[in-house]
Structures are given as C-alpha cells and as structure tokens.
C-alpha cells in the first residue's frame, strides 16, 4: 500500500515535505501532542439502566465495549458452558447482518471485533480507527444484542470450541479446577464448556440465556477515544430485555475441598488457595495483590532468574530445584482466592507442594523489603495497563460493570493513575500483614493435574 | 423431474390454474412435494444441510418411496397423492436465505 501512495505525484511532494520537515525538526523535539487528561472516569446511568462511561485517548485507534454481567458464574447446571458457546458464536448471523457481511465489513474498515468471557462478564469489543468507528457501532450493537443463533452456524463452529478444550494447558486446567473445588457452584463454574455439554447448547438455550442475562440492568457501554454523547446515544438504543432478572447471584461460599485429575504427564501442576477478599472490599483486595507480588509471581525479566529472592520461590526451590511456583491472587466482585500454583516433576512434587504451603503459612511474617517490592511491582503493573488501550478499555469495562452504581452517576474507583497511586500508597504494611494472617490461619482448597503419585492430599497438608 | 422453483408471476394470478398445473406436473402422484424435485444445485445442497433433521428425514422417505414406485412402474393410490394445499414448500425459506447470502458474497467479491 505504502508504495502506491507515494506513486501519486501530489502525495509524493507531501511525503517529501514531511520527510524534510522531520529531518529539520529533529534536533528540537517539540511535544505538541495533546496529552490525555487522565481524569477519573465518570459513569452515567441512562433511563434503560445501562451504565455508560467514556475516556479520552490520543491513540488513533478507538475502542468501544459492550459488557454484560453474564459470565460463567451465572450459569446453572442445565446450561453449563453456555458462555463458552456464546463466545464461540460471537459474530455469527444477526437479525440484520449475515456472518459473512459482518466479517467483511469489519475487515474492510481495518477493525477488530472480539468477544471475551470471564466468570463475571461477557464483553464485546470493537476496535477501529477514530474516523471509521462511528459508522460501525451499529455492527457492534447487532453482534452483542441481536444474535440469531442459526443452528447450522452454531454447530459449524463447534470444532473451534473442541480445539480450545483440547489445547488447555494443565496450568489453566488446575486453576479452573481450583475454582470448582473452592466454590462448587457460581464462581466454581469453569469458563470452559464441560466436555459433556459440548454441542448441547441448542439455539433455544442460548437465546434463553441471552434473554435472561443481557438486560439493561446488567449492561454497560464503555469507550475510549469516542464521544460520550455518541456512546450514550448507542447505549440508549440497545435492544435489551427490560427485566432486571436476579441481579445479584447467590453469594459465593468458600469450601475447603480438593479436586485431582490424573493424566499421563511427567509433571504435576498443583494450585492451592484460601479464601481472599472480593473486589468490593477495595483495600483488602489490593492488599492481597501486593502480597501476591511480595511472595513472588515468577521472573519479571524474560528468561531471567532474579526471582530467587522471593519467599515463595526460595522455599519451593529449596525443596526441589526443578519446581517453579507463582503466587496466585484472583479477585471477583464478592470474594477471591489467594494461594499459589506450582509445577514440578512428578517424583518431587510432594515436597514442593509442602514447601509452598509452608511459604503460604509464613506469609504473615513477610519482610518489609518484600512488601515494598510488592507495592512497587503492583503499582507499575497497574500503571502500565493505562498505557495500552486494549487493557485500559478492558479495565474500564470491568469497573463499569461491577462497580458503577445503577441508581445515579458515579466515578469509577480505579480509572486514573492518580487514583491507583493514592490507593496503593494508602496501604500500610500492617494492612498487608493482616490479610496475610487471614490466609495463614485460614482453610485451603486444592486442585492438582498431572502425575499425582507423590502429591499429598489436602488433609495431609500441614 | 426438476421443476422451476420460481413462483411464476403469471400463474399466481389464477389460483385454480395454478392448482391445475400442479396436478398436471405429475410428481404428486409419487407422493413427492414440490421441493423434493429441485435440481440439487450448490444452493439447494446448502439449504438441505440447514434443514431440521425431522423435515429432512421426511423428504428422504418420500424420495425413496418415489424411486421405488418408479422402479415398479407404479404410482400411489389416488387418496395418497400430494394435494396442492398440502405442499408447503418447506425448503423455500432456507433456499431464499442461502441465495441472499450468495448474492451478498458475490457483491463483495466484485471488483
């Protein structure tokens, strides 16, 4: 493309001029671009209960997401795995567009349409250059709210679902099973479709789930680099069911249980965790995140091995030099999980797991140097998320879906660097040690995948 | 045995004429429906793929029976002939959609 552009004579002179201009201006660099304001983002509520939030962005790419609080935790036994099928079915034929039409139109505009599902939410995101996105919001709306689920299209895409199931890594599997052991229902539902439900999600079932969960009460629209009135206009025209449904799922209860899956692998992957704070507690959830980084999340330098100083890695590698471990902190709106995940050769996995549990039990006596490192790492991780438009819009979407008030305008709690910095600076060592004490004295849940001949059972862990 | 799948504009003005033409075409004496006799073009094949299984099973049964009758140089007793009113053109909605999709594809691929 570039070569054909410079072939046009008029453009060539422009190109040359620009070239000279940049060459001349090179010594004196002028920062004339508009810096993003990075103010905390305000979320407003429309009459149809949809929450709308928008942030400015200097990026030439704009992003708009429609988020529903309809993740896998809202599934029940009869429609388990429904959200996985919904994700696979995103972008198939809708009321006014065909699968092919959607694909080609987005392609032609150079855009990107994605669907992401989690335990809490389902997100449909459109990425496109600033000048084009306005015309294509209609497609995003159709894909999110007017899906048709034609039986042949859904069944044509089942191989993609099966491939995803088959290519899950044992680590992912262990974390899924850990949720299942710890919460049983609700949050215990996997984001993956269980094997016995593959192909069982007929169009009626999908339609029923969408009608029950894609409601105004559960919907949010966020955008970056798009005018807020435009977003509001789109959000008020969304074709949504009006009924709020049961907006709050049943509260998740933590169980001290274990799940083991034997496979013919030479390794064992073990995840152990106790109950942690939910995101709604704010401070405690952040303290857990600091503690996670203080305990160690593996090397932060690619191919690096500088994580030997982490208390968790130290203990685990003393037991088995071939094992690798990372602390785990998973936070959901009402509850969370905190613990570690490790992989080790089958013969020595037992010792590694015991060492990991000991590190977890000793978390409340963690040193101040480690905590300071944890805070610095968390701060940089969160601030770096503001750098990338993709993670920023994801973050805004989650906050709008989980925290924004449905009764009036509100400010999103962690939507600007200043808020993040204030929140992390506000954490004292005592706060982190308090949550560490809870984990050290609390009960644990456990999931293990692989060759488990040496891996101890939950009641054998001290 | 293929018949035109188009609802002829001229004949549709005269319902009784349409019925007369339907009975004259003869396939109903084998118990077939109009859409059982379509040429299996790519469009029809795709539409058949999308047909619900029970409808497809009934179609296959009718075609089997017609083949058997043709083999034995026979036709069904008159009371079992397909009646004009009972022929519901089950494939048409699917076929229309397939054609629309194909036309959209061709439109996009046009330079």
- Residue B96 maps to a domain: yes
- Residue B51 maps to a domain: yes
Contacts of A152 in chain B (CB under 8 A): 49-50
**Domain tally, chain B:** 1
User: Would the CB atoms of A101 and B104 count as touching at under 8 Å?
Assistant: yes
Query: Structural domain of residue B91, as residue ranges?
Result: 34-110
Judge whether A375 and A433 are in contact, CB under 8 Å: no
ipTM for the predicted complex = 0.82
Q: What is the pLDDT of residues A341-360, one digit of tens each?
A: 999 999 999 999 999 999 99
User: Whole-model pTM?
Assistant: 0.86
Q: How far apart are CA A449 and CA A455, in angstroms?
A: 10
Give the pLDDT confidence score for residue A354 in this predicted structure: 94
CB-closest option in B49, B52, B108 to A104: B108
Taking 90 as the threshold, does the pLDDT of residue A185 lie above it?
A: no
- Residue B69 maps to a domain: yes
Among the ranges given (A13-17, A176-180, A186-190, B6-10), the one the predictor scored with the smallest mean pLDDT: A13-17
- Residue B8 maps to a domain: no
Taking 60 as the threshold, does the pLDDT of residue A110 lie above it?
A: yes
- Distance in Å from the first CA to the final CA of chain B: 38
Average pLDDT, chain B: 88
- For residue B73, give the CATH number of its domain: 1.10.1090.10
**The residue to which tokens 């029970």 are assigned:** B54
Q: What is the pLDDT of residues B89-107, one digit of tens each?
A: 999 999 999 999 999 999 9
- Residue B75 maps to a domain: yes
Sheet containing A112-117: give its strands across: A112-117, A122-129, A61-68, A219-224, A51-55, A42-45, A410-411
Contacts of B104 in chain A (CB under 8 A): 98, 100-101
- Residue B105 maps to a domain: yes
- Residue B95 maps to a domain: yes
**The residue to which tokens 């996997």 are assigned:** A190
Contacts of A229 (CB under 8 A, 6+ apart): none
- Distance in Å from the first CA to the final CA of chain A: 64
User: Would the CB atoms of A100 and B104 count as touching at under 8 Å?
Assistant: yes
- Residue B17 maps to a domain: no
Taking 80 as the threshold, does the pLDDT of residue A3 lie above it?
A: no
Residue to substitute from B49, B54, B56, B108, interface A, most A β-carbons within 10 A? B108
């Amino acid at each position: 493309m570039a070569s054909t552009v410079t072939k046009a004579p008029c453009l060539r002179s422009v190109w040359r001029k620009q070239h000279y201009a940049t060459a001349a201006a090179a010594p004196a660099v002028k920062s004339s671009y508009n810096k993003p304001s990075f103010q905390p983002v305000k979320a407003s509520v429309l009459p149809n209960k949809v929450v709308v939030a928008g942030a400015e962005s200097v990026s030439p790419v704009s992003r708009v997401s429609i988020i529903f609080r309809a993740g896998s935790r809202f599934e029940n036994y009869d429609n388990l795995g429904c959200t996985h099928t919904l994700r696979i079915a995103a972008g198939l034929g809708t009321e006014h567009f065909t699968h092919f039409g959607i694909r080609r139109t987005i392609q032609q505009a150079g855009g990107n349409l994605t669907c992401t599902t989690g335990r809490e939410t389902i997100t449909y995101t459109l990425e496109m250059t600033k000048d084009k996105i306005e015309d294509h919001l209609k497609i995003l709306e159709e894909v999110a709210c007017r899906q048709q689920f034609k039986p042949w299209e859904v069944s044509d895409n089942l191989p993609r679902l099966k491939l995803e199931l088959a290519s899950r890594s044992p680590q992912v599997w262990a974390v899924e099973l850990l949720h299942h052991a710890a919460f049983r229902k609700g949050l215990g539902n996997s984001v993956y479709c269980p094997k016995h439900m593959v192909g069982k999600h007929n169009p009626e079932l999908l339609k029923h789930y969408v009608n029950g969960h894609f409601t105004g009460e559960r919907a949010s629209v966020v955008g970056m680099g798009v005018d807020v009135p435009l977003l509001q206009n789109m959000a008020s025209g969304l074709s949504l069911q009006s009924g709020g449904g049961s907006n709050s799922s049943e509260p998740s209860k933590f169980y001290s249980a274990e799940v083991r899956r034997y496979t013919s692998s030479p390794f064992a992957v073990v995840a152990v965790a106790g109950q942690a704070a939910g995101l709604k507690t704010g401070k405690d959830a952040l303290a857990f995140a600091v503690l996670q980084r203080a305990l160690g999340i593996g090397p932060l330098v690619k191919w690096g091995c500088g994580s030997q100083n982490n208390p968790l890695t130290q203990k685990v590698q003393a037991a088995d030099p071939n094992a690798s471990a990372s602390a785990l902190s998973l936070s959901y709106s009402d509850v969370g999980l905190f613990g570690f995940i490790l992989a080790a050769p089958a013969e020595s996995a037992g010792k590694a797991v015991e060492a990991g549990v000991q590190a977890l039990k000793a978390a409340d006596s963690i040193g101040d140097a480690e905590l300071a490192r944890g805070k610095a790492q968390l701060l940089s991780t969160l601030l770096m998320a503001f750098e990338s438009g993709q993670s920023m819009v994801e973050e805004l979407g989650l906050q709008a879906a989980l925290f924004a008030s449905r009764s009036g305008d509100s400010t999103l709690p962690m939507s600007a660097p200043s808020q993040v910095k204030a929140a992390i600076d506000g954490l004292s060592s005592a706060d982190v040690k308090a949550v560490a004490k809870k984990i050290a004295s609390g009960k644990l849940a456990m999931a293990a995948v692989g060759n488990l001949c040496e891996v101890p059972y939950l009641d054998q862990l001290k | 045995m293929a018949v035109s799948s188009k609802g002829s504009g001229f004949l549709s003005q005269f319902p009784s004429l349409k019925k007369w033409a339907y009975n004259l075409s003869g396939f109903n004496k084998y118990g077939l429906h109009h859409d059982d006799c379509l040429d299996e073009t790519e469009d029809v094949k795709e539409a058949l793929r999308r047909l619900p299984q029970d409808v497809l099973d009934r179609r296959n049964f009718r075609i089997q029976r017609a083949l058997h009758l043709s083999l034995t140089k026979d036709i069904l007793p008159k009371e079992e002939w397909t009646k004009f009113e009972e022929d519901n053109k089950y494939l048409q909605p699917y076929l229309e959609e397939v054609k629309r999709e194909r036309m959209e594809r061709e439109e996009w691929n046009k330079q």
